[in-house]
Amino acid sequence: MTDPKSAESLLHVRVYYEDTDAGGVVFYANYLKFLERARTEWLRNLGVNQSGLAVSEQRLFVVRSLDMSYRKPAKLDDLLTIRSRVTKLGRASIHFAQRAERDGELLAEGNIQVCCVDAANMRPTELPTDLRAKLESIQE
């Protein structure tokens, strides 16, 4: 993981047997898991504890939308680099651009919109003030 104050975050993920399909390549839906881990670890490095927010502020993060493109397959034992950066902050949302790479080669990329919701009613609610400040401070 890179510097939490950086506009871009890096997470390295090893491909395990459980990540592959019958053809020996990463099953397409597993890229979404890799991207989720990267977003979660980046927030954690920023000092944001999602389970803590759920308890203390009754706020959760849910994926509202995503757009994925798959370029080349990843295979068993590959070491992937997941690159994440915030592209836009909304009142209740964070837009991420994410890429999965192997040795600098683009394998998959996506744009993901994550929405902050009230845990009680699952309706959109403002991003926590401290999180917004942290994200604004690192935006390019």
Structure tokens at 42: 């980046």
Check if 21 is active-site.
yes
CA angle 53, 9, 45 (to 5 degrees): 35
Spell out the residues 6+ positions from residue 9 whose beta carbon is closer than 8 angstroms to its own.
Answer: 1, 2, 38, 41, 42, 45, 83, 84, 85
| Active-site option among 3, 19, 21, 130 | 21
**Catalytic positions:** 21
